Homo-oligomer: A and B are copies of this chain.
Amino acid sequence: MSTLDLGLPARVPSPEPAGLPDAVTIWEVGPRDGLQNEQGVVPVEVKLEFLHRLGAAGLSIVETTSFVRPEWVPQLADAAEVLAGLEERDGVRYPVLVPNARGLDRALEAGVRDIAIFAAATESFTRRNLNRGLDEQFAMFEPVVHRAVGEGIAVRGYLSMVFGDPWEGPVPVEQVVSAGRRLLEMGCAQLSLGDTIGVATPGQVESVLRAFTAAGVPVSQLAVHFHDTYGQALANTYAALSQGVTTVDSSAGGLGGCPYAKSATGNLATEDLIWMLDGLGIHHGVDLRALAATSTWLAEHLGRPSPSRVVKALT
């Protein structure tokens, strides 16, 4: 009785959202966090077309690539080439992930004006990812951030493992807030709170956000970054919006994890986020159909369908 397939979805008028922001900035991470976690290397020309199409669809921040060591992430070994070929669009920011001082050198050589660093809230993960302790990571990042800020570059701080760590399990909220504040205090303009392994649920999201604001961090400096490993990403985003968050990370088409792999670590799909924002009457500036068409086009290059529900339904 409910097998309908008419192509055109019925949208609803926005009810007045209580306590929700009027507008949200989508921080598109598909070209970096998405492609970094896909199997196989996408050719530079395809990446450049992808970046072009994301900007044309109305995304105002597109995280473009990473200067992580090529032997660690071969998918992004072409960072310099991508940046050399990138035709920047007016009004669009193209931040680049910079893992350390050497990465910042390379980013500056490439003319990058917007960077992100990648820290973690847990000892186990910083040990494995950076070969440093939780506290020691800050000593490594501080000169990078200071130098970047001195060059007039905007720096975002990713804080990963905020809502759970695969080795440690639950992460104490005070530890998260303390790590996040250190990134802000050293000069990061924004903090992106990451559920790197996708385990968070909405009540926990609200608790962490409330702990940051209680510690004096303005919600305008906070972004959220959810992975859909356990299907919770959009519900968590709704919880974050209800706490006043206005920057949400997402990945076009849900790039970033094979939907049939054991560990489906895909990011929240930008299209699924947009569907919710539209329904809530929250402005975002992105053309949903142009974006879904872009994700479908890229999925053909990757040889597998997009895991985004909206992309599947619309294309």
What distance in Å separates the Cβ of A167 from its nearest Cβ neighbour in chain B?
7
Interface residues in A289-315 by Cβ distance below 8 A to B read: 305, 308-310, 312-313
The reply to whether B279 and A5 contact each other, CB–CB distance below 8 Å, is: no
Query: Scoring A residues 15 to 30 as 1 if CB is less than 8 Å from chain B, else 0, what string do you get?
Result: 1111010000000000
A269 to B231, CA, bound (A): 9
List residues of chain B with CB within 8 A of the CB of A238.
202, 235, 238-239
**Cα–Cα, bound, A229→B137 (Å):** 42
Q: How far is the CA of A260 from the CA of B313 in the complex (A)?
A: 9
Given contacts A200-B12, A204-B279, A280-B203, contact A160 B1 (CB under 8 A): yes
Does A169 sit within 8 A of B, measured CB to CB? Answer: yes
Residue of B nearest to A305 (CB): B260
Q: Give the docked Cα–Cα distance between A72 and B269 (Å).
A: 35
In the complex, per-residue mask of A138-175: 1 if CB is within 8 Å of any chain B CB, else 0? 00000000000000000000001001111111110000
Q: Chain B residues near A166: list those with CB within 8 A.
A: 4, 6, 8-10
Does A199 make an interface contact (CB < 8 A)?
A: yes
The A186-238 residues at the B interface (CB cut-off 8 A) are 194, 196-204, 206-207, 227-232, 234-235, 237-238
Decide: B169 and A10 in contact? CB cutoff 8 A.
Answer: yes
Does A110 reach chain B (CB closer than 8 Å)? Answer: no
Q: Is the CB of B264 within 8 A of A196?
A: no
A66 — nearest CB in chain B belongs to which residue? B1
A171 to B272, CA, bound (A): 22
Chain B residue nearest in CB terms to A167: B6
Q: Are B201 and A276 in contact (CB under 8 A)?
A: yes
Distance to closest chain B CB from A160 (angstroms): 6
Q: Are B197 and A15 in contact (CB under 8 A)?
A: no
Asked if B206 contacts A15 (CB within 8 A), the reply is yes
Expressed in whole angstroms, the minimum distance between the Cβ of A169 and any Cβ of chain B is 4
Q: Which of B202, B230, B260, B313 contacts A263 (CB 8 A)?
A: B313
List B contacts of A228 (CB < 8 A). Answer: 309
Chain B residues whose C-beta falls within 8 Å of the C-beta of A272 in the assembled complex: 230-232
Hey, which chain B residues are within 8 Å of A269, CB to CB?
A: 231
Interchain CB contact (< 8 A) of A196 among B2, B20, B72: B2
A72 to chain B: which residues have CB within 8 Å? 1
**Chain B CB within 10 Å — which of A12, A20, A167 has the most?**
A12
Residues of B within 8 A of A206 (CB): 15, 18
Determine which residue in A3, A6, A13 has the highest number of CB atoms from chain B within 10 A of its CB, and name it.
Answer: A3
Q: Given the interface contacts A202-B276, A228-B309, does A12 sit within 8 Å of B260 by beta carbon?
A: no
Query: A4-B263, A259-B259 are known contacts; what are 19 more A-B pairs with Cβ within 8 Å?
Result: A1-B73, A2-B33, A9-B230, A12-B164, A12-B200, A15-B206, A16-B203, A17-B203, A18-B203, A201-B278, A202-B238, A202-B279, A229-B313, A230-B275, A232-B276, A234-B234, A235-B238, A238-B239, A263-B313
